[in-house]
Amino acid sequence: MTVVAIDGPAGAGKSTVARRLAAALGYRHLDTGAMYRGVALAALERGVAPGQAVSVERLAADIDLVIEGDRILIDGRDVSERVREPDVTRAVSAYSAVPGVRAVLVQRQRALAAQRDVVMEGRDIGTAVVPDAAIKIFLTASIRERALRRLADQDTDDAAALAELEASIAARDEADAARAASPFVRAPDAIVVDSTGRNVDEVVAEVLSLISAQGRP
Ligand code: DC
């Protein structure tokens, strides 16, 4: 099976680009960040803190976490919108840093990659989940641009909100890069695509041409 790995920081446009690439290639799209968000939500709801590593790992292994297209279901409940809310966004880095959680989710991600060709997006796809992916893209954008995109999602143009978003995005990048278990780093063989100042069509076209330049998977 072929894997296109799309890694990059929060707000770089990974989901939009990965979804569009998957549609263009006829592959499945898998947002691995949604899986970490699902575990974080389940843990928050059960009052399990990230420091309770054994309990969090058990929970990650026990919950029925299903990704269906762009929807995420936990134990049959559709939590696709719920996992994007601020409490989950604030907590998810800490839960994703638990080695046992990563082990459980990485195993599931590899199993999914073995079933069907996939465009898989996350932070460690090209470094840890599928190091032999056919093509690895590291999608990035300036912190200002990433914060502006998040702000547009929230339908506000408040300057204080922008500064706050920039700070929280930078803090999450740092937390993801500083963790001991598969820290967020660029794979040495990933191709860097910077989406700053460019629209989705341009970025998707660039990645598709990179894929065909490498010989389409
Ligand atoms: O892409 P996102 O913002 O939905 O990701 C949520 C969190 O999950 C983010 O803080 C980093 C973590 N994550 C990870 O550690 N490894 C992945 N493959 C995907 C996400």
Task: Write the pLDDT tens digit of every residue in 193-202.
Answer: 999 999 999 9
HEC secondary structure over 105-123: HHHHHHHHHHHCCEEEEEC
Predicted confidence at residue 159, as pLDDT, reads: 82
Q: How far is CA 55 from CA 30, 31, 98, 106, 156, in A?
A: 26, 24, 11, 18, 39
What residue's CA is closest to ligand 1, atom 11?
93
Per CATH, domain 31-115 is 3.40.50.720: no
Q: State pLDDT tens for residues 93-127.
A: 999 999 999 999 999 999 999 999 999 999 999 99
**Which residue's CA lies nearest to atom 5 of ligand 1?**
33
**Ligand 1 mean position, distance from CA 32 (Å):** 7
pLDDT over threshold 90, residue 183 = no
User: Is the pLDDT confidence value at 161 over 90?
Assistant: no
| Cα-to-centroid distance, 33 and ligand 1 (Å) | 4
Name the DSSP letter for residue 192: E
- Name the DSSP class of 97: T
Show me where the domains of the chain are located. Answer: 1-27+117-212, 31-115
pLDDT of residue 215 exceeding 70: no
Ranges of H-type helices in 32-191: 32-46, 53-62, 86-96, 99-115, 143-153, 159-178
**What pLDDT does residue 179 have?**
82
Q: Look at residue 107 in the predicted model and tell me its pLDDT.
A: 97
Domains 1-27+117-212 and 31-115 share a fold: yes
Q: How far away, in angstroms, is 80 Cα from ligand 1 center?
A: 15
Kindly tell me if the per-residue pLDDT of 40 is higher than 90: yes
pLDDT of residue 64 exceeding 90, the answer is yes
Q: pTM for this one?
A: 0.92
Residue 126: DSSP 8-state: I
Fold of 1-27+117-212: Rossmann fold (3.40.50)
Distance between CA atoms of 135 and 187, rounded to whole angstroms? 11
d(CA 178, ligand 1 centre) in Å: 13
Which of the listed residues 92, 165, 184 should we mutate to test ligand 1's pocket, taking the one with most ligand atoms within 8 A of CB?
92
Q: For Cα atoms 41, 42, 45, give the angle at the middle one, nearest 5 degrees.
A: 85
- Listed range (27-31, 46-50, 177-181) with the worst mean pLDDT: 177-181
Nearest protein Cα to ligand 1, atom 13: 33
